[in-house]
């Protein structure tokens, strides 16, 4: 490590402290150090949304976020949504509507939807489409995803 | 992709930022959201030995009204700007533009000051800031100066900002009654192929217009000859004169063909978007509410 840094943050509700190199990206720290493989790396340029995690409730691209920048923040990954073995309502809606095909975009879709509903519990279809515009389903299964999200508002 | 190693600095005061910049020179870069810089670092287009995080420099934070201007601090993210009650009330067109930038993840992390500093040509804010008469405040250890947003970007990834200067804030004149602005864009990719910004200013029965184009050149393009030709033309009569002028002006823009579209396609988009943006700006000037771009 050229520049070891200690970061203190909350990971899925648990206070966490890690020593990382300043150049490490959040997606690698989550996947390889924290062993949370639900966060996916795909486009690597902030376009597709597969690597979405929530930082203080807002979606960010973990592929293009320095892990040192999460110091002091609360990070939620897909692994942090279910409580006591029970899926969150967003996860359950995706299951109920079969809103996934290959599943690679699903973590990001579910987290982005979770953030949207936090901000706009009664989002209109236009608002849903706008907010999820940056999450790409390469299988093109958007209609089922939209139906799942609409069932929650 | 992985980043080449660097030393990370996290100053909490502007003076400490300037000290670090003076010490490390062109081996150092400042960042806030990192949405543009980190992509360039990952692609190994840029390489720095030192990265200076500005996010804890409180002097650069905040959004407020100062006299007749809205002041957007360098650390304000697109998401904060889009959702700020002050911005929505006083410069609704700029709030709407912010809500349309890239995607929610970029808006959550990326800042307006970072966007302007990087000056990637396929960007939303510059043309509207120019049309609204905004200015960019630059600070250095020695001085503070204000540059019109219309003159800030001079080319691809090139601005008038000197190496020892930072953007402190962006100032946008408050939109007053009888004024309306609007930004419209089109593109198939995340970034706009073409953006058009228009303003309509009605004062004492006389109407003036503002028209700027973004993304299809290496800096915002002022449609000055169209503005001059339609100055004083009442809003209701614009459809009689604007289409021909817009097509003529757009056909003379030296657009480049790239993955966003061919040059003639972009010229077509420019002529259509100019007309639509101006019509929307006129509607806003007469009191119509703006929705996001």
Please give the residue of chain B at the shortest CA–CA distance from A52. Answer: B105
Confidence (pLDDT) at B244: 97
Nearest C-alpha of chain B: how many angstroms from A125? 14
Asked if A24 and A57 sit in the same domain, the reply is yes
pLDDT tens digits along B1-47: 789 999 999 999 999 999 999 999 999 999 999 999 999 999 999 99
Three-state secondary structure call for residue B268: helix
Instruction: List Cα–Cα distances, B58 to B15, B138, B154, in angstroms.
Output: 12, 16, 29
Confidence (pLDDT) at B190: 87
**Residue range(s) defining the domain that contains residue A132:** 89-150
Show residues of chain B in contact with A50, CB under 8 Å.
Answer: none
A40 with A51: CB under 8 angstroms? yes
B51 with B42: CB under 8 angstroms? no
Average pLDDT over residues B57-86: 98
Which of B11, B83, B105 is most worth mutating to test chain A (most A CB atoms within 10 A of its CB)? B105
**Residue B291 counted as domain residue:** no
Confidence (pLDDT) at B228: 97
State the pTM of this model.
0.96
Average pLDDT over residues A125-149: 97
For residues B107 and B101, give the distance between their C-alpha atoms in angstroms, rounded to a whole number.
7
Asked if B105 and B197 sit in the same domain, the reply is no
Residue B289 pLDDT > 70, yes or no? Answer: no
Candidate from B4, B8, B35 with C-beta closest to A46: B35
Q: What are the structure tokens assigned to B285, written together?
A: 């000037």
b/e code A60-86 from CB counts within 10 Å (16+ = b) = bbbbbbbbbbbbebbbbbbbbbeeeee
Which of A22, A51, A109 is most worth mutating to test chain B (most B CB atoms within 10 A of its CB)? A22
CATH number at residue B28: 3.30.43.10
A140 touches chain B (CB under 8 A): no
pLDDT tens digits along B132-164: 999 999 999 999 999 999 999 999 999 999 999
Instruction: Provide the H-helix boundaries in chain A.
Output: 26-28, 89-96, 106-119, 125-131, 142-150
B42 with B55: CB under 8 angstroms? no
Average pLDDT over residues B117-137: 97
Candidate from A2, A46, A69 with C-beta closest to B5: A2
**Residue range(s) defining the domain that contains residue B267:** 179-285
Confidence (pLDDT) at B236: 94
For residues B91 and B284, give the distance between their C-alpha atoms in angstroms, rounded to a whole number.
11
Q: In this complex, how many residue pairs, one in chain A and one in chain B, have their CB atoms less than 8 Å apart?
A: 83
Confidence (pLDDT) at B168: 98
Average pLDDT over residues B244-271: 95
φ/ψ of residue A73, rounded to 5: -100, 170
Q: What are the structure tokens assigned to A138, written together?
A: 């390469």
Confidence of residue B127 (pLDDT cuts 50, 70, 90): very high
For residues A104 and B173, give the distance between their C-alpha atoms in angstroms, rounded to a whole number.
45
Between B44-48, B187-191, B279-283, the lowest mean confidence (pLDDT) is in B187-191
Asked if A76 and A93 sit in the same domain, the reply is no
pLDDT tens digits along B190-222: 899 999 999 999 998 899 999 999 998 889 999
Show residues of chain A in contact with B2, CB under 8 Å.
Answer: 23, 25, 28
Residue B287 pLDDT > 90, yes or no? Answer: no
**Residue B158 counted as domain residue:** yes
Element (H, E) at B234: none
A147 touches chain B (CB under 8 A): no
For residues A100 and A109, give the distance between their C-alpha atoms in angstroms, rounded to a whole number.
10
Confidence (pLDDT) at B290: 59
Confidence (pLDDT) at B217: 86
Nearest C-alpha of chain A: how many angstroms from B52? 11
Residue B256 pLDDT > 90, yes or no? Answer: no
DSSP state for residue A64 in the 8-state scheme: G
**Residue B290 counted as domain residue:** no
Asked if A9 and A76 sit in the same domain, the reply is yes
Confidence (pLDDT) at B1: 77
Confidence of residue A67 (pLDDT cuts 50, 70, 90): very high
Q: How many domains does chain A contain in total?
A: 2
CA dihedral A72, A74, A78, A80 (to 10 degrees): 120
Give me the half-sphere count of Cα atoms (radius 13 Å) on the Cβ side of residue A77: 20
> B257 CB contacts (<8 Å, ≥6 apart)?
B263
A112 touches chain B (CB under 8 A): yes
Name the average pLDDT for chain B. 95
């Amino acid at each position: 490590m050229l520049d070891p840094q200690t970061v203190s943050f909350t990971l899925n509700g648990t206070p966490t402290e890690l020593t990382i190199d300043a150049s490490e990206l959040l997606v690698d720290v989550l996947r390889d150090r924290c062993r949370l493989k639900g966060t996916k790396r795909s486009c690597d340029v902030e376009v597709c949304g597969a690597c979405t995690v929530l930082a203080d409730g807002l979606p960010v691209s973990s592929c293009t976020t320095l892990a040192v920048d999460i110091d002091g923040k609360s990070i939620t990954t897909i692994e942090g949504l279910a409580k006591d073995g029970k899926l969150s309502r967003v996860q359950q809606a995706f299951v109920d509507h079969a809103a996934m095909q290959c599943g690679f975009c699903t973590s990001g879709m579910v987290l982005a939807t979770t953030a949207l509903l936090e901000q706009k519990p009664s989002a209109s279809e236009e608002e849903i489409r706008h907010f999820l515009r940056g999450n790409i389903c390469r299988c093109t299964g958007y209609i089922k995803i939209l139906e799942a999200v609409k069932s929650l508002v | 992709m992985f980043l080449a190693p660097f030393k990370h600095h996290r100053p909490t005061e502007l003076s400490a930022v300037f000290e670090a910049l003076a010490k490390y020179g062109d081996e150092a870069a400042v960042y806030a959201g990192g949405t543009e810089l980190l992509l360039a670092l990952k692609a190994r287009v840029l390489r720095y030995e030192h990265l200076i995080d500005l996010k804890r420099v409180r002097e650069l934070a905040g959004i407020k009204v100062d006299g007749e201007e809205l002041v957007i601090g360098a650390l304000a993210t697109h998401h904060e700007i889009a959702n700020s009650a002050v911005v929505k009330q006083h410069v609704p067109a700029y709030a709407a533009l912010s809500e349309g930038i890239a995607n929610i993840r970029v808006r959550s992390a990326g800042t307006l000051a970072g966007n302007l500093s990087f000056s990637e040509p396929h960007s939303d804010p510059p043309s509207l800031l120019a049309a609204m008469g905004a200015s960019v405040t630059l600070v250095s250890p020695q001085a503070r100066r204000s540059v019109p947003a219309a003159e800030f970007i001079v080319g691809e990834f090139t601005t008038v900002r000197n190496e020892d200067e930072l953007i402190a804030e962006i100032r946008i004149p408050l939109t007053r009654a009888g004024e309306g602005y609007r930004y419209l864009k089109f593109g198939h990719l995340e970034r706009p192929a073409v953006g058009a910004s228009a303003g309509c200013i009605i004062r004492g029965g006389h109407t003036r217009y503002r028209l700027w184009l973004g993304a299809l050149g290496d800096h915002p393009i002022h449609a000055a000859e169209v503005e001059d030709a339609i100055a004083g033309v009442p809003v209701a009569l614009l459809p009689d004169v604007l289409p021909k002028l817009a097509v003529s002006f757009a056909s003379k823009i030296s657009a480049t063909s790239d993955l966003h579209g061919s040059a003639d396609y972009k010229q077509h988009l420019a002529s259509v978007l100019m007309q639509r943006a101006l019509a929307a700006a006129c509607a806003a000037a007469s009191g119509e509410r703006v929705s996001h771009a």
